[in-house]
């Protein structure tokens, strides 16, 4: 059930998570999970400062499982990624249970209620 709160000084805070599959660090392919707020100004939202890393998804090296099929590796990778992402989403959902006070660019403090964007 979705509860929508409206009123003076209350605003939804849409939370967005993004997985970057092209990121490589020290020749180890990992996939960072980023988070941002959708409510940010379009000039700010495109900048690196608007995104924060929540965690990293591990990669599955083909050489580690030479006797397995590509389909087995694909299923194993998906299962591993889903298990990792579940922890991230559960943490965000716990955070979303409480309203938060947010300071806007104009200095005004508003009451916001975070929601994970789908």
**Residues in Cβ contact with 89 at an 8 Å cutoff, skipping those fewer than 6 apart:** 17, 116
Q: Which tokens go with 76?
A: 């194993």
Q: Write out pLDDT tens, residues 15-27.
A: 888 888 776 667 7
Global pTM? Answer: 0.65
Q: Which tokens go with 16?
A: 């967005």
pLDDT of res. 105: 67
pLDDT of res. 24: 66
Q: Write out pLDDT tens, residues 37-96.
A: 777 777 777 787 888 888 888 777 777 778 888 898 889 888 988 888 888 888 888 877
């Amino acid at each position: 059930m979705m509860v929508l709160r409206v009123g003076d000084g209350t605003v939804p805070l849409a939370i967005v998570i993004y997985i970057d599959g092209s990121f490589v660090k020290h020749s180890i392919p990992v996939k960072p999970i980023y988070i941002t707020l959708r409510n940010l100004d379009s000039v700010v939202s495109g900048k690196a400062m608007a995104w924060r890393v929540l965690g990293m998804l591990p990669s599955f090296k083909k050489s580690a499982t030479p006797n397995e099929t590509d389909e087995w590796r694909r299923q194993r990778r998906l299962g591993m990624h889903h298990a990792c992402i579940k922890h991230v989403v559960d943490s965000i959902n716990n955070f979303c249970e409480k309203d938060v006070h947010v300071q806007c660019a104009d200095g005004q403090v508003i009451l916001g209620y975070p929601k994970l964007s789908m």
